[in-house]
Every structure is written in C-alpha cells, then in structure tokens.
Amino acid sequence: MTPWLIFGAKAVGGLACQMGVGPAFTIVERRVAAWIQGRVGPNRVGPLGLFQPLADLVKFISKEQIVPADADRVLFLLGPLLVFAPPIFGFCVIPYGNMIGDEHLQIANLPIGVLFVMSVISTGVYGMMLGGWASNNKYALLGSLRASAQIISYELSLGLAILIAVMMSSSLDLNVIVEQQAGKGFGAWNVFGGGHLSQLPSGLLGFGLMFICALAENNRLPFDLSECEAELVGGYHTEYSSMSLGVFMLSEYLSMILMCGLMTSIYLGGWSFPGITDPSDHSILAGLISWAVFMTKILSMMFVYVWIRWTLPRFKYNQLMDLGWKAFLPASLVNIALLAVIGVMGV
C-alpha cells in the first residue's frame, strides 16, 4: 500500500471520528435531554427519530442565506469557517487507536502534538470575534466580546491543566503520553498519578480543572454566556442563518470531540484499557478494538457534557469570570508548584 493510500485511510478514520459523530450526537443530546426531563424527544423523522440530523441538514440548506446590509460581507462569511477549521486540524494529531503494523492510527504524528493542539484551540476565538463584529449588531458584538473574554480567561487554566499531564509524562508527543499509560493498569493513567501515588492529587485536580475549563471553552452550560438567549438573543451568531448558522452549531460539537479526545489521550489512557487492549498487538483487529475503546471514552465524556447541560443552571457573567480568575487559575498554579516539588524531591 502506497504512503498516500495509508495517509488517506488514516485521514478517513480520523475525520470519521468527528464528522460522523458530530452530526449524529445532535440526536443523542436531544434523546438524553428528553430522558433527563421526562420528555419523549425526537420520534417523527425516521424510525425512533434517527433521521432527525438529516432533517436538520435539509432545513439549514433550504433556508435563505442572509447577510445584513451594513455587515462586512467578507468577514461575516469568514467567521464560521474560522470556528469550524480549528477542531478539524487539532484532531489530526490525536492518536485514535493503537498501531496497525508500523502505522500509527493518527493523521499526523508530531513530536510537539500537545503544543499544536493548544495553538489550534486558541485560534477558534477569532471566528466568534469576527462573526459578532462583522454583523454590525450590538447584541452580536456583546456576545463576541463575552465569548472572547471567557475563552481567553479559561484558556490560561486549561493550558496549565494540560501542563500537569505533560510534566507527568515528560513529553509533548501525544503518542508517547498514551504509550506511557497503556498496558500498565489504571494506576498508570495520568488522572491517577501516572503510576506514582504521590502524584495522584495532582492528576485528579488537573483532570477536574481541565474538564471544567473545557466546558467553558466549548461554550457549554453552565458557561454559555456568550450566546445566552435571555440577554443577547443569540449571541455572536445572532445575524447568521442557513448553513452559516449550521456551521457554528456543528463546530461546537466538533470542538467537544477534540477536547474530549485530548483529555482522553493525556489523562485517561487514550485508546488503551486494561484487559481489553494490548499495546504490543499491532494487528488490524487489535487496532479496531483500540479505536472502539477510544471512541467509547469520548462518547462517555460527551454524555457527561449533556448531563451537565440539563442539570446545572447558568452562571452570571461576574461569577463566571471570578471562578476562572480567582479560583481555577490559582488552583492550577498551586497544582503545578506541588507537582514540581514532588518531581524535584523524587517522591
């Protein structure tokens, strides 16, 4: 098999994790929301309502694309693309399975994969800022300002939480981080200290901070202040319609998948699971099993996303910012300091 065919197969497998799960998860969210709230949920389009995502796509395509008369047309249309592209590129370096033969189940194997993902994640805010500003709508502008302030604030704590896992693994290569956690039991996962009992508190706190900051980064309840209906109509995408609005909504799910994939890789053992996967087995069957384990972990975390959305009320904006700057950032700095002391002492 030629290198281009191998790369194409890996790219299809990686993109299937996002472009397949993203639209499909919209019906999962509706079903879980209905279950939590004691409602029926989608049940009209197709058997058990399973064709609801297809109906949503037809609706978005058939609606008229409207650009406000006073909007900056180029930046207005560019905004959704700048939000859509980062999670696609970021997932390229996520290892979504064990090796098959000599090939990693990963679109691009970068030795600085963690830095690449962090840099890509940080660019998503530009699409929200441009979308709100270019709309020439004061409510959209307020939503974009809230989004940029929120995301930039929580990116600090998110980056420090990621740094905890990097310090435990002493590597920026996502494959190396996963391999260090694979085949050694749950205790080797970074969330449980990476095989060192003294690092257990740092691992648990780092994962907890990263998960909460991921909710804020993905604009999920209770951190969806940038698009809260009661105050800002629709937030930064108030003026968007048709597929432009659909791209914004799909980007949220793609960003969730990227963040869950990153958390799974650096804290939860990646594609490995004791008793199910064998890191030394590079057969096709073992690769497919490891891919299934990885996707199960991602979907489980996304289920928690939905559970939180329909359980917790929305924060006020001052509470959201206070939590990020006065609670999460100091806790992240203290966590890094403690882990550094433990490393220096060799405990």
What's the confidence (pLDDT) of residue 159? 92
Rounded to whole angstroms, how far apart are CA atoms 303 and 334?
30
Nearest CA to 302 out of 257, 248, 263 is that of 257
What's the confidence (pLDDT) of residue 297? 94
Rounded to whole angstroms, how far apart are CA atoms 316 and 306?
20
The per-residue pLDDT string of the chain (347 residues; one tens digit each, 9 = 90 and over) reads 577 777 777 777 777 777 777 778 888 888 888 888 888 888 888 888 888 888 888 888 888 888 888 888 888 888 898 988 888 888 889 998 888 888 888 888 889 989 999 999 888 888 888 888 998 888 888 888 888 888 888 999 999 999 999 999 989 999 999 999 987 888 889 999 888 888 999 999 999 999 999 998 888 888 887 777 666 677 888 888 888 888 888 888 889 999 999 999 999 999 999 888 888 888 889 989 999 999 999 989 999 998 998 888 888 888 888 998 999 999 999 999 999 988 777 65
Instruction: For residue 24, count CB atoms less than 10 angstroms from its CB and return exposed for 0-12, middle for 13-18, buried for 19 or more.
Output: middle
The residue whose two tokens read 């959201």 is 320
What's the confidence (pLDDT) of residue 157? 93
Rounded to whole angstroms, how far apart are CA atoms 154 and 240?
26
Dihedral, CA atoms, 5, 10, 12, 13, nearest 10 degrees? Answer: 140
What's the confidence (pLDDT) of residue 346? 64
- pTM greater than the 0.85 cutoff: yes
What's the confidence (pLDDT) of residue 289? 92
Domain edges within the chain: 3-47+60-345
Rounded to whole angstroms, how far apart are CA atoms 73 and 306?
34
